[in-house]
Amino acid sequence: MNFINYLSERPKLTQLGIVLIVFFILMSMTGLYHDLIVERHLFAKSVVKGEIQSSVGFAESMSMILNWQLPPQLVRIPELTFYHPVINTSATYVLIALLVTAGLLYKSFAESVNKSQWLRVNWFQIISKGFVGIIVGLLFIPTLYNWFFGEVTRSTFWEIPFMLQDFSQYLIFEFWQTPVYDPEIEDYEDYGRVRLFTRAIGVTLLFLINLVRELLIGGFETVVSLANVFSDQSGWDWLNENKDKWYSSVPAIPWTVLTAGAFILGYKLQGVGLSILAGFSCIYLAVFGQWEPAMQTLSFVLVAAPVSCLSGVIWGVLAYKSRTVERVITPLLLIAQTFPHFAYLVPVIVFFGIGDHAGAVATIIFATPPMIRLTLLGLKRVSPEVSDAGRMSGCRNYQLMFKVLIPTARRDILIGVNQVIMQCLAMAVIASFIGAMGLGFNLLLALNQLRVGQALELGICIVLIAVVLDKLSLAWADKQTDYFADLSFVERNKTALLFVAVFFAAILFAWFGNWVFADTAKGINYFYLIPHNKGITTEPFWQAGVDYMVSNWRAGIKIFNTWLLVEVLMPMKASFLAMPAIATFVLTMGIGYIIGGIRSAIVVGLFMLFIALTPWWERALITMYMLTFAVIVSVVIGTIVGAICVQNKRATKFILLVCDTFQTFPSFIYLIPVIMLFGVTDTSVLIAVIVYAVIPPTRYTVEGLRNVPESLLDAGDMSGVTKLQRMFKIEFPLAFPHIMLGVNQCVVFALFMVIIGAFIGTEDLGQEIMQQLFSGGNIGSGLMLGLCVAFIGLAMDHLIQTWAEKRKTLLGLS
C-alpha cells in the first residue's frame, strides 16, 4: 500500500513507468533483438581476427568523392530486413478524406455569422484544408489501413520521391516552353522557362562573384563578359587573341592594400581593437599562403551574405505584413532549422547545376531562414506605441517600415546578419562539394591528403574571416552620424583620403618588390601576392603530433575502440533496430504525453509517423541511435566541464572563447584526426559528433550558472549550505531551463554532424542523402530524407522546449 501511495503522489513517474513497461513488453515480443545480438557476436569475432577493416582508405574515398564517384563503403549500405509499413492506393480513400474535409468546412460555414463574407474570410482555410484532405486521403489513411490489415506491397508514400522527381523534371524541361535561339546549332529550340529563369539567376550570381573575385585577385573575364553583352562574341575573341599581352588581364590588388584597408576600416568603424583584429587576420591569410583561396571564399561570401540578408529582410517584412505569408512561411522556417545541409544540395544541383553559382544558391537558401525568423521576430517585438508614434508623425507606409519599424527592430535584425555570416562560412566547405571554389575546396583537398596541419590552417582562415566580417558588420551597424560636427571636406573624408594614399603607397611598394625579390630563386614578389601554399606553414609540427599519436597510441586506442564497439555501440544499435515501430511510437508519444500532455504526444507522433511511412524507417533508427549516444555523452561532458569552469572567472572566459572558436570551425576538420585513430567505424563518427556537439551544453551551462541571481546565492549562504549543496540544490535547478536550451542546441549540432558523418561511412539517413547527391540527385528522395532528419530534430526540439518552458513557469523565471 505504501508503494501505491508513493506512486499516486507522483503521477508523472507512474506514467513513465507504464510507458516503459509497455515499451519493453512490445520490444521483447519481436525477438529481433536476439538475432541482432547473434550478429554482434559474429562481428566481434571478425574484429578479433582482424577481418574488419575498411576496404578503402579514407584518402582514397575522399578523392573518389571529389571525382563524383562513390567509394565502396558508401555504396554498400547493408541490407536490413525489417517490417516496412506498406500500402496500395485506392480512390475510395481519397473520396472518404474529401468527404470528411467537406463536412468540416460545412460545419464552419453553418456556424459562421456572416455567410456572404464566409468565402472571402476563409479562403485560405478552405484551400489548405482541401489540400490536407487530399494528402491524407491519398497517403495516410491507406497506409495506416494496410499497415494494420493489408498485404505487403509498395506504399503510396514511397512513390512521392519519384512523383516529385518527375514533377521537377517536367518543371525544368517541359513546363511553359519558349523558343530560344541557340547559336551552336544556329536555330531556335524550345526551353522551359523555369530552366531559363534558374539559369539567369545562376549567371547573375556567377557574374557578381566573378566581379568581386577578379577585383580581389585579378583577372579580366568579367569585364570581357560584360563587354560581350554589348557586342556578341568579339570580347572573347579579343581575349583569346591577346592572351599573353600584359593588358589582357587586370592585375590583382596587392594584398598589402587590402590589409591596410582592413586596418583603416576597423579603426574607422570601431577603434584600435577591431583595427588590429581585421588587419592581423589579413596578414595571417597572406603570410600563410592562403590569400588566393581566402579571397575566393570572401568573394563568394560577399555576394551570398548580402543576398541572404536582403531576401531575409524582404520575406520577414512580407510575413509581418501578411498573415497568409506568415502562416505559410512559419512551418518552413521551423523545418529549415534542422534540415541537413546536404539535403539542400540535391535540389540545387538539379536546378542550378554545379559551380560557384550553385554553391552560392545553396548558401543563400541555407542562410536566409534565420534572417527571416529574426526579422519577423524583431518587427513583432516593436512596441505598438512606437509604430503608432511613427504613424502619428505622418509616416507613409514605406517610411513607417524603413524609418521606424526596421531601425527599431535593429538588434534582432543584426543578430540575423551575424547568423547569416556564420551560416555562409559554415556552408563554405559544404558548398565546395557542388563546385564552389575557395578555402572550402582546399580544405577538402587537404583532408583528402590527410594533411591535418594544412587543414587546420585553412580552418583558422575560415574562422578568422567569419569573426572579422561579423565584427565589422556589427560595428558598421552601430555607427552613428553626428549632426554637430561642422567639418571641412578633408576632415570629413580623412579616412577615405588615407586609404587612397595607402593604396598608391602599397602599389608602389609592390612595384619595388619586383626588384627586391628579383634575385630569389622563384621570382615571387611577396609584396604583391604570396602564392597559394608558398607562405609559411606550421604543418610539419601538426603532422609530427599526429604521427606521434598514431604510432604510440594506436594499439591502446584499438583495444578501446573494439571494446566500445562490441560492448556498447553494437548492442545499442541492435536494440534500436530491434524496436518494432509500435514500440517506438509508444515510447516517444508516451514521453511526449508526460512532458506536454496530449498535444505534445500528437505532435511527436505525427513527426514519427511521417518517417515511418517513408522507405527509410530503419535508417532513421540508426540516425536516432547515433544521435542519442552522442547527445547523452555530450551533455554529460558539457555540463561537467561547464560547472567546473564556472567556478573560476578566468576559466569561464577561456572556455567561452574556446566554444566560440570551435563553433565557427568547419566541422569537417574534426573528421580527420578521429578517422586516423579510430578507422572507418561508428566510433569515429561519434567522436567527431561529440567534439562538435559538446559546445552548446558547455556554453549554456556556464551562462546558466553564471546568471543565477546573486540574492538567491546569498540567501543560500546565509542558511549555511555547503558548496556542493549550493551547487545541486540552488544553482543547478535554477539554471536548468537555460541548460535545457543548451541540450536543445546540442541535439541540432549533433544531428548536423551525424549527417556529415556519412563521409566517414555510416548506414543512416545521412548516407542515403549522400547517395542522392552523388547519383545525380533525385529531388524527391533528397527532400524527403531531409524532412526525415528535420523531423527527428523537430520532435526532440519540441519535447525539450516544452519541458524547459514548464520548468521555467514553475520557477517563475519566464
Partner 1 sequence: MSDQQPVIKCDSVYKIFGKNAEKMLQDANGKVVAAEFQKAGCVVGVNNASFEVNKGEMLVVMGLSGSGKSTLLRCISRLTDATAGNIYIEGEDLISMSDKELIELRRNKMGMVFQSFALLPHKTVLENIAFPLQVKGNSTKDSIKRAKDMVDLVGLTGRENYFPRQLSGGQQQRVGIARSLAVEPDIWFLDEPFSALDPLIRKEMQDEFLRLQGVLNKTILFVTHDFDEALRLADRIAIMKDGIIEQLDTPANIVLNPETEYVRKFTEDVPREKVLKIKSVMEPVGDETDFSDLRVSEDALIETVAEAVLGDPKSVPVLNANDDIVGVVHSSKVIHVLFGENSTLESNA
Interface residue with partner 1 among 393, 552, 648, 707 (CB under 8 A) is 393
| Burial of 237: CB neighbours in 10 Å, binned 0-12, 13-18, 19+ | exposed
Alpha carbons 473 and 414: distance in angstroms, whole number? 8
- By beta-carbon proximity to partner 1, the closer residue of 2 and 397 is 397
Alpha carbons 758 and 742: distance in angstroms, whole number? 25
In this structure, are residues 108 and 125 in contact, taking their beta carbons and an 8 Å threshold? yes
Kindly state the smallest distance separating residue 456's Cβ from partner 1, in Å: 41
Cβ partners under 8 Å of residue 85, min gap 6: 143, 146, 147, 155, 581, 612, 613, 617
Interface with partner 1, residue 806, by CB under 8 A: no
Burial 549-570 (b: 16+ CB within 10 A, else e): eeeeeeeebeeebbebbbeebb
Kindly state the smallest distance separating residue 108's Cβ from partner 1, in Å: 12
Give me the amino acid identity at 807. R
Kindly state the smallest distance separating residue 487's Cβ from partner 1, in Å: 15
- By beta-carbon proximity to partner 1, the closer residue of 382 and 751 is 382
Binding region for partner 1 (CB under 8 A) out of 73-81, 142-150, 397-405, 594-602:
397-405
Interface with partner 1, residue 389, by CB under 8 A: yes
**Pair type for strands 177-182 and 187-192:** antiparallel
Interface residue with partner 1 among 243, 396, 479, 650 (CB under 8 A) is 396
Interface residue with partner 1 among 18, 328, 332, 386 (CB under 8 A) is 386
719 phi and psi angles, rounded to 5 deg: -85, 10
Run of H or E including 1: none
Give me the amino acid identity at 695. I
Kindly state the smallest distance separating residue 376's Cβ from partner 1, in Å: 19
Interface with partner 1, residue 50, by CB under 8 A: no
- By beta-carbon proximity to partner 1, the closer residue of 148 and 484 is 484
- By beta-carbon proximity to partner 1, the closer residue of 34 and 107 is 107
Interface with partner 1, residue 484, by CB under 8 A: yes
- By beta-carbon proximity to partner 1, the closer residue of 2 and 116 is 116
- By beta-carbon proximity to partner 1, the closer residue of 231 and 480 is 480
Interface residue with partner 1 among 14, 54, 249, 399 (CB under 8 A) is 399
Interface with partner 1, residue 403, by CB under 8 A: yes
In this structure, are residues 576 and 622 in contact, taking their beta carbons and an 8 Å threshold? yes
How many chain residues bind partner 1 (CB under 8 A)? 25
Burial 153-185 (b: 16+ CB within 10 A, else e): eebbbbebbeebbeebeebbeeeeeeeeeeeee
Interface residue with partner 1 among 42, 110, 392, 555 (CB under 8 A) is 392
Interface residue with partner 1 among 114, 231, 488, 551 (CB under 8 A) is 114
Each residue 327-366 as x (binds partner 1 by CB under 8 A) or -, in order, gives ----------------------------------------
Kindly state the smallest distance separating residue 397's Cβ from partner 1, in Å: 8
Within residues 409-428, the interface with partner 1 by CB under 8 A covers 410
**Strands, DSSP E only, in 358-426?**
none
Kindly state the smallest distance separating residue 491's Cβ from partner 1, in Å: 19
Alpha carbons 326 and 349: distance in angstroms, whole number? 28
- By beta-carbon proximity to partner 1, the closer residue of 409 and 603 is 409
Instruction: Please report which residue ranges of 564-616 form alpha helices under DSSP H.
Output: 570-578, 581-613
Interface residue with partner 1 among 174, 388, 547, 714 (CB under 8 A) is 388
Burial 21-38 (b: 16+ CB within 10 A, else e): eebeebbeeeebbeebee
C-alpha distances in angstroms, 504 versus 220, 278, 513, 530, 757?
A: 21, 21, 14, 19, 49
The three-state secondary structure class of 180 is strand
Kindly state the smallest distance separating residue 124's Cβ from partner 1, in Å: 15
In this structure, are residues 8 and 1 in contact, taking their beta carbons and an 8 Å threshold? no
Kindly state the smallest distance separating residue 390's Cβ from partner 1, in Å: 8
Binding region for partner 1 (CB under 8 A) out of 101-109, 399-407, 463-471, 553-561:
399-407
The three-state secondary structure class of 97 is helix
In this structure, are residues 780 and 704 in contact, taking their beta carbons and an 8 Å threshold? no
Interface residue with partner 1 among 129, 193, 199, 391 (CB under 8 A) is 391
Interface with partner 1, residue 404, by CB under 8 A: yes
In this structure, are residues 462 and 297 in contact, taking their beta carbons and an 8 Å threshold? yes
In this structure, are residues 765 and 338 in contact, taking their beta carbons and an 8 Å threshold? no
Give me the amino acid identity at 383. S
In this structure, are residues 670 and 688 in contact, taking their beta carbons and an 8 Å threshold? yes
Kindly state the smallest distance separating residue 416's Cβ from partner 1, in Å: 16
**Strands, DSSP E only, in 354-513?**
none
Interface with partner 1, residue 408, by CB under 8 A: yes
Kindly state the smallest distance separating residue 474's Cβ from partner 1, in Å: 14
Alpha carbons 158 and 154: distance in angstroms, whole number? 7
Residue 179, strand partner residues: 190
Q: Write the DSSP symbol of residue 438.
A: S
Alpha carbons 212 and 217: distance in angstroms, whole number? 9
Interface with partner 1, residue 120, by CB under 8 A: no
Kindly state the smallest distance separating residue 394's Cβ from partner 1, in Å: 3
Interface residue with partner 1 among 231, 383, 488, 711 (CB under 8 A) is 383
Run of H or E including 210: helix 193-217
| Burial of 233: CB neighbours in 10 Å, binned 0-12, 13-18, 19+ | exposed
- By beta-carbon proximity to partner 1, the closer residue of 389 and 501 is 389
Binding region for partner 1 (CB under 8 A) out of 351-359, 392-400, 424-432, 758-766:
392-400
Kindly state the smallest distance separating residue 415's Cβ from partner 1, in Å: 15
Alpha carbons 784 and 790: distance in angstroms, whole number? 10
- By beta-carbon proximity to partner 1, the closer residue of 487 and 715 is 487
Alpha carbons 574 and 571: distance in angstroms, whole number? 5
Interface residue with partner 1 among 201, 395, 602, 656 (CB under 8 A) is 395
Binding region for partner 1 (CB under 8 A) out of 11-19, 214-222, 401-409, 640-648:
401-409
Within residues 464-483, the interface with partner 1 by CB under 8 A covers 480, 482-483
Kindly state the smallest distance separating residue 114's Cβ from partner 1, in Å: 5
Binding region for partner 1 (CB under 8 A) out of 99-107, 313-321, 385-393, 567-575:
385-393
Interface residue with partner 1 among 79, 184, 385, 519 (CB under 8 A) is 385
Interface with partner 1, residue 108, by CB under 8 A: no
Interface residue with partner 1 among 4, 42, 113, 724 (CB under 8 A) is 113
Interface residue with partner 1 among 103, 407, 545, 709 (CB under 8 A) is 407
Give me the amino acid identity at 333. L
Site of grid cell 553626428: 482
Binding region for partner 1 (CB under 8 A) out of 25-33, 286-294, 407-415, 423-431:
407-415
Q: Write the DSSP symbol of residue 250.
A: B
- By beta-carbon proximity to partner 1, the closer residue of 116 and 233 is 116
Alpha carbons 371 and 421: distance in angstroms, whole number? 10
- By beta-carbon proximity to partner 1, the closer residue of 19 and 405 is 405
- By beta-carbon proximity to partner 1, the closer residue of 147 and 320 is 320
Alpha carbons 654 and 292: distance in angstroms, whole number? 32
Binding region for partner 1 (CB under 8 A) out of 29-37, 283-291, 388-396, 728-736:
388-396
In this structure, are residues 361 and 348 in contact, taking their beta carbons and an 8 Å threshold? yes
Interface with partner 1, residue 380, by CB under 8 A: no
Q: What are the residues binding partner 1 (CB under 8 A)?
A: 113-114, 121, 383, 385-386, 388-396, 399, 403-404, 407-408, 410, 480, 482-484
